Structure 1
Amino acid sequence: MTHPSSWKDTEVRCESGTSVPERYSALLSLVRNLKLIMSLTDPANRKTALWVLRQAIARGDGRLQGLSICCVGNTPLFYAGQDLQQGLVDILTNGTSLTLLDLKGVPFTLSDSFVRSVAMLCPALRSLYVNNHSLVCGVNAETLRQVLKSCRSLNILGVFQASLSQDVFKDLMLPERPALKKLELRCERSLKYTLPLCDQIWLELKLRHPRLWVELELDHTLPELHVPGVLQPSIPVRCLRLLTWTLLLNEVRIVGQSYATTLEFLELQTTASSELNYVLIALAKQCIKLQEVHCYCVVSQEVITAFITNCPNLYRYTLKTHKEAHPWTCTKLK
């Protein structure tokens, strides 16, 4: 149990309000990749989670490389996460060994000052995810530029699309930057207040980073009229989640035309109709690289047949001809 390989990937759950048993606390310094799951309901859980992280970093002599934080349970009313953000900054003073930081699982808005502090404290970061499910984007473009300046090895980035700008793209295309592997972008109502990104800048980014792939998530708070502007044809989209709960007929047509050579994962939350069945059948014939399709409204049997027939790499799908009790189960082919 004391061999370091036993603690390469470790999950610690702080949900009961109790502290970590003493017999385990000495082993936290061996953790290489830590996933912290905490309930926000009781402040004692947040305190325990920060204590666990402090032990893993302060006593680990640079061993901790990956950190993922996920919050569960009901979020207290008006809770903005200041204690967790400040506690994380305080602990990461000696956390320069981190190469991955995943904050997608926190429900509160991440501030500009917090993200800037994390970037300065962890210059070795290669993967950073701040595209969490808060109601608004709290990270502006200048902060993102500072992150890129501080973390020169960063090649995987998850952010709100509202944090991007022309200047951010220019920084990403600098010749001294490493090859950008992945962009995860969450698109929500904050895009109403930003300048849209033109297709040309995406084309230039793709030429500079030919192996880049993009994951797009369109939230239900994104106004429907902004959706076509997000789906620029030159984006190398491999994973697309259209979670808008709006009619998506034109959007699905755009997806089939623009991302036929790149799309591997598609998720839809929309309204059932005969027109939707028609455009999905057309999409199945265009996006033949699809590996997963999940559509959370009923479709015709012809739609299911079209995806199975035209997409040889398809191994999992959620396509139902009749409504089921929540949650819908997916079908595995391989």
Structure 2
Amino acid sequence: MARPGEELPQEVLALIFRHLSLKDRAAAAQVCRAWAEAVTCSSIWHHMNISCDGEMESTLLPSLFSCLHHIRHLQLGFEPSSERSRAAATELLTVLADRACGLRSLRLECHGEKRLFDAGRDVLSAVHAVCGAARELRHLDLRSLPFTLDDGLVLQVARGCPRLHSLFLDNHTLVGSVGPQSVLELLDACPHLYALGLHLASLSRTALEMLAAPDRAPFRLLAVRCACPEDARASPLPDEVWAAVRQRNPGLAVELELEPALPVESVMRILQPTVPVAALRLNLSGDSVGPVRFAARHYADTLRQLEVRAAASATLDAALEELAACCVGLRDVHCFCVVSPSVLNAFRTHCPHLHSYTLKLQREPHPWRPTLVA
């Protein structure tokens, strides 16, 4: 510990300042020259989580912008229904695009109850600019954006980010506007890509064949969201192509999310036996029992996470018990309806690797908290 009159070494100050908010960092920079030098040290800016609400005051912008070139990993949060918050996010991303040579990962987080589905072009234009400048970008996560993503964005990523490892476009939008051809160009331009999140309509047979190519690096994660009308109309991808992808990528995990807009016949067409589904999220307005039973019979070796939002019923309880007995590798089970005690007992008995579950035996106020298994 430093004695009175002594200064802490800059590396120690940097370790302390790393845990400060933007507002507190700006205040620390005004204390003395040594603190100002420590607070602008590149290492404390490598991993940043920035909120464009309370923290983004006008007095903070100059000190923040002067350090943007140090950022390597950025999680940026904003409220899309707030014009001020959205403008702050847009301004930060725009400036970042001019100084983003070393940016490795970018994740956008939207929060707030009201989301604007018909806005956001300002934010998306700024993301375009970042992708055009950040040649070292490895990870881009846009699944929290409530705005429609399009081919132009995917093609910009393909042109500007050749070292990309992961890209998540499976956001909660009402319209799917990323075409299969754009995805093919992305896969061709980014040979190191190993994780991809898409709407089902953006996926094609040719894309799966590219993932099964012998000269391509192993692929690890494919997150597929099925929610918009385009997804409901998408044709099933051939079982033999899925089998080839699994053979080439034995470690591949598929995350499958099904939303209420899908008709029952589309749901059962999307669920294919050969897909290595590791995470299944069912939020269906129609039959949920059929998909749960399908998962029990065909995803027993691969399923690790299950989420069900449905109406409580005795038939659903029976299907969940069947699934528990078959899918013994499950780690997380979350059912957002009241279940019988036998369902809880089935998962506790048959799934030794269970890490957390939401299995309520009676109605409780929301939000329901999961139970962690000791």
| Number of residue pairs aligned between Structure 1 and Structure 2 | 332
**Post-superposition shift, 1:55?**
4.2
1:182-223 residue CA offsets vs partner (Å, 9 max, x unmatched): 000001232233222132221111111111111111111111
Identity of aligned residues (%): 36
Larger radius of gyration: 2
Counterparts in 2 of 1:279 and 1:150: CA distance versus 1, 3 Å: same
Correspondence for 1:275 among 312, 315, 325:
315
Q: Please name the residue that 1:198 is paired with.
A: 238
Structure 1 position 242 matched with structure 2 position 282: yes
Q: Please name the residue that 2:352 is paired with.
A: 312
Residue 106 of structure 1 contacts residue 133 of structure 1 at CA under 8 Å; is this kept in 2? yes
**Post-superposition shift, 1:84?**
1.9
Structure 1 position 218 matched with structure 2 position 269: no
Structure 1 position 296 matched with structure 2 position 336: yes
**Post-superposition shift, 1:245?**
3.4
Structure 1 position 35 matched with structure 2 position 75: yes
Amino acid at match of 1:324: E
Correspondence for 1:10 among 45, 48, 71:
48
161-170 or 179-188, which deviates more: 161-170
Structure 1 position 145 matched with structure 2 position 187: no
**Post-superposition shift, 1:31?**
1.7
Residue 29 of structure 1 contacts residue 57 of structure 1 at CA under 8 Å; is this kept in 2? no
238-247 or 38-47, which deviates more: 38-47
1:278-306 residue CA offsets vs partner (Å, 9 max, x unmatched): 12111111100011100111111111011
Q: Distance in 1 between matches of 2:46 and 2:348?
A: 38
User: Which 4+ runs in 1 deviate beyond 6 A?
Assistant: none
124-133 or 23-32, which deviates more: 23-32
Residue 93 of structure 2 contacts residue 126 of structure 2 at CA under 8 Å; is this kept in 1? no
Amino acid at match of 1:305: N
Amino acid at match of 1:97: E
1:110-152 residue CA offsets vs partner (Å, 9 max, x unmatched): 1112221122111111100011000011111111101111212
Residue 30 of structure 1 contacts residue 56 of structure 1 at CA under 8 Å; is this kept in 2? no
Residue 291 of structure 1 contacts residue 315 of structure 1 at CA under 8 Å; is this kept in 2? yes
Correspondence for 1:68 among 95, 104, 107:
107
Normalised by the size of structure 2, how large is the TM-score?
Answer: 0.84
Q: Please name the residue that 2:371 is paired with.
A: 331
Normalised by the size of structure 1, how large is the TM-score?
Answer: 0.94
For structure 2, which runs of at least 5 residues remain unmatched after alignment?
1-13, 15-39
**Post-superposition shift, 1:53?**
2.7
Q: Distance in 2 between matches of 1:310 and 1:297?
A: 21
For structure 1, which runs of at least 5 residues remain unmatched after alignment?
none
Counterparts in 2 of 1:83 and 1:56: CA distance versus 1, 3 Å: closer
SS of aligned partner of 1:124: coil
161-170 or 42-51, which deviates more: 42-51
Matches within 5 A, 1:251-266: 251-266=291-306
SS of aligned partner of 2:362: coil
